Chain A
Amino acid sequence: MSSRLAGADALESRLRAPGTAIVPYLTGGYPSLAVFGEALSALSGSEAVEIGIPFSDPMADGATIQESSRVALEAGASLDSILTTVQALGRVGTELIIMSYLNPLMAFGYADLLSRLAETGVSALVVPDLPLEESGELGAVSREHGIGLVQLVSPVTSQERLEVLGKASEGFTYAVTMTGTTGGTIGGGEEVTGYLDRVRAASRPPVLAGFGVRTVEQVRALGPHCDGVIVGSALVEVIAAGEDPVEFVAGLKP
């Protein structure tokens, strides 16, 4: 399957490296485009960084990312201005993942969007309100540009569906750790690790666990059952408090 998608493949091999990847999530343009750009640049030692495109109606997000999205939009952030900010940084040493609800992508136009994402060096695209059945058109355009369309799975996804999504996913498989919104509380113990083991067994690309990851203890517990974790709400809170995101992310390394 390799050499299929240049961007997605680069991300996959990066995530397959030994150790638990810590993938920081930044709300694009939060609290301002300038501060976002600085944070991204500072975090470029990470295997990958996920950039969230703020949306007016983020139905999968909890209070923290709802608020960071609202602030970013009020400060004038858009998909276009966020990509311009990223491009202005030149080559960052990290793989870039874009997370966006579908509507801002549709409004941009898929063909223009994917050329622009390819120019910006983006490896993969995560669209939380686009289940596999609806993803044909965007997936096809993404593939033309070597960019992976990531599938999300959840603890209530059936085994049968898990197998389908794990094969279809590109770049990585996003294992949502719980039923709930971003920043919620993860259940403990074997319920989560057993679920991650099932995802890993069914997934062709590496598996990243996300939603509610905020402590090094959690990373230690989840690490052996996935290829890495995405840290979103907790990191946004650190940025909101004006603290150092690099130090926080370094503190999560087991």
Chain B
Amino acid sequence: MTITTETGRYGRFGGRYVPEVLVPALTRLEETARLLLGDPGFLTDYEAELATWVGRPTALTRAARLGEAWGGDLWLKREDLAHTGAHKINNAIGQALLAREMGAQRVIAETGAGQHGVATAAACARLGLDCTVYMGSVDIERQAPNVERMHILGAKVEPVTSGDATLRAAINEALRDWVTRPETTYYLLGSAVGPHPYPWLVRELQSVIGREARQQMLDRSGRLPDAAVACVGGGSNAIGLFHPLLDDPIELIGVEAGGTSPELGRNAATIGRGSPGVLHGSFSFLLQDEHGQIQETHSVSAGLDYPGVGPEHAWLAETGRVSYESATDDEALTALYELGRHEGILPALESSHALVGARRWLAEHPGSSVLVGLSGRGDKDIDILRGLAR
């Protein structure tokens, strides 16, 4: 399950489709990352930050009441308890340490729901790095609390009004910034997407989720779960949970955003509804029209509202090791309230998609056990939930 060629291929997916101007920066990043992720000194620093600043290991919670309601044994890997409220911080602090080692003068990032933006802002503040976050104007409006958080943490938030003004446009704008200053700027990409080495690097930094959860399941229940479920936008929390479980006899299920309908433009179910192509530097599944133009997506959850998906997920879908399904906006909202009322946990709208997958699994396999990657907390979604409740 490692990189097989120098261009970072997962089967036929992945690669490095970028303007020539970024090739030296990506080569440098790949070389440095390979070196440092194998360096005991660097890893000691990284693990110390995870333990004393991020708050790892995060808890594994047995959701007894909701499990009973859904007919099985339900376990939650609590990334919502990580510092800044989501799994994004695992990657952000790891890459920020890399950026510091590489002598970057500034860090740029994109954000959809704002969780990666907040995590990057926090990591940069922690390490004394200058930070600029690109965020679509549509997302700025629907995730306002996270914009405030980034400001408080000292980051500059650049609104993006071009394109669809969501995550995809924010990535385009971050890439345009990077091609302008490739030698002094570190692009801290937040998901397991983009040109090589990002899908690999982000997976390595997020795999702590699956490694911890695997051990915690063994310690607590004496066995591995029958299934593990995670939501998939770009797919960083899902690959982080799945990767350490790939060789185990566990059913792995990724849940994409089904939006309001299966029609093109009304969902973000990239693997379920898309076709292969190149966007943002890698070959993967995309939501596109017959002319290869990328289509707008819809999801109630800003973090899943993206027309691409990480190349390793594309490969895991093609090989059949992981099955991918989708949950609609309404199904995710129902699951969010169910978790809140049964377990006293308010999950992010993104993570609520994973809960839908777990509920389905238990309905089809009563009495079995399922592990859910609860990728983040839902405080950021209060405004949306209040609006929908009206």
A-B interaction: yes
Residues 6-21 of chain B, each 1 if its beta carbon lies under 8 Å from chain A, else 0 = 1100000001111111
A181 touches B180 (CB 8 A): yes
Q: With the chains together, A151 CA to B280 CA distance in Å?
A: 19
- Return chain B residues, CB-CB under 8 Å to A157: 20-21, 23-24
A129 touches B281 (CB 8 A): yes
A42 within 8 A of B: no
Q: With the chains together, A102 CA to B183 CA distance in Å?
A: 25
Most buried by B among A78, A134, A157: A134
A154 within 8 A of B: yes
- Give the contact stretch, choosing among B63-71, B148-156, B287-295: B287-295
B278 touches A102 (CB 8 A): yes
A144 within 8 A of B: no
B24 touches A156 (CB 8 A): yes
What's the least CB distance linking B24 to chain A, in Å?
A: 5
B172 touches A57 (CB 8 A): yes
List which B330-351 residues lie within 8 A (CB) of chain A: none
List which B274-328 residues lie within 8 A (CB) of chain A: 276-281, 286, 288, 290-295
In this complex, what residue of B is CB-closest to A63?
B162
Q: With the chains together, A57 CA to B279 CA distance in Å?
A: 8
B176 touches A156 (CB 8 A): no
Q: With the chains together, A184 CA to B176 CA distance in Å?
A: 11
Indicate which residue in B163, B175, B291, B295 contacts A78 across the interface (CB closer than 8 Å): B291
In this complex, what residue of B is CB-closest to A176?
B21
With A56-B163, A56-B294, A102-B278: A128-B7 Cβ-Cβ less than 8 Å: no
B223 within 8 A of A: no
- Give the contact stretch, choosing among A7-15, A105-113, A217-225, A231-239: A105-113
B264 within 8 A of A: no
A131 touches B294 (CB 8 A): no
B292 touches A108 (CB 8 A): yes
A103 within 8 A of B: yes
A179 within 8 A of B: yes
B21 touches A154 (CB 8 A): yes
A142 within 8 A of B: no
Q: With the chains together, A180 CA to B18 CA distance in Å?
A: 13
With A59-B176, A59-B280: A133-B16 Cβ-Cβ less than 8 Å: yes
A153 within 8 A of B: yes
**Interface size range of chain A in the complex:** 35 or more
With A156-B182, A180-B180: A130-B17 Cβ-Cβ less than 8 Å: yes
- Return chain A residues, CB-CB under 8 Å to B15: 134
A176 touches B20 (CB 8 A): yes
Q: With the chains together, A49 CA to B15 CA distance in Å?
A: 31
Q: With the chains together, A201 CA to B280 CA distance in Å?
A: 32
A103 touches B281 (CB 8 A): no
A181 touches B179 (CB 8 A): yes
- Return chain B residues, CB-CB under 8 Å to A181: 176, 179-180
What's the least CB distance linking A143 to chain B, in Å?
A: 20
With A80-B291, A131-B16, A157-B20: A103-B277 Cβ-Cβ less than 8 Å: yes
Q: With the chains together, A149 CA to B21 CA distance in Å?
A: 17
A179 touches B175 (CB 8 A): no
- Return chain B residues, CB-CB under 8 Å to A78: 291, 293
In this complex, what residue of B is CB-closest to A67?
B162
Q: With the chains together, A219 CA to B26 CA distance in Å?
A: 32
A106 touches B183 (CB 8 A): no
What's the least CB distance linking B197 to chain A, in Å?
A: 13
List which A151-166 residues lie within 8 A (CB) of chain B: 151-154, 156-158, 161, 165
Q: With the chains together, A150 CA to B175 CA distance in Å?
A: 22
A158 touches B292 (CB 8 A): no
- Return chain A residues, CB-CB under 8 Å to B172: 57-59
What's the least CB distance linking B62 to chain A, in Å?
A: 43
What's the least CB distance linking B85 to chain A, in Å?
A: 29
List which A17-73 residues lie within 8 A (CB) of chain B: 55-60, 62, 66, 73
- Return chain B residues, CB-CB under 8 Å to A66: 162
- 10 shortest interchain CB distances as A-B pairs: A107-B292, A104-B292, A154-B21, A103-B292, A180-B180, A78-B291, A56-B293, A56-B294, A59-B175, A152-B20
* A interface residues with partner B (beta carbon < 8 Å): 55-60, 62, 66, 73, 78-80, 101-108, 128-131, 133-134, 151-154, 156-158, 161, 165, 176, 179-181, 184
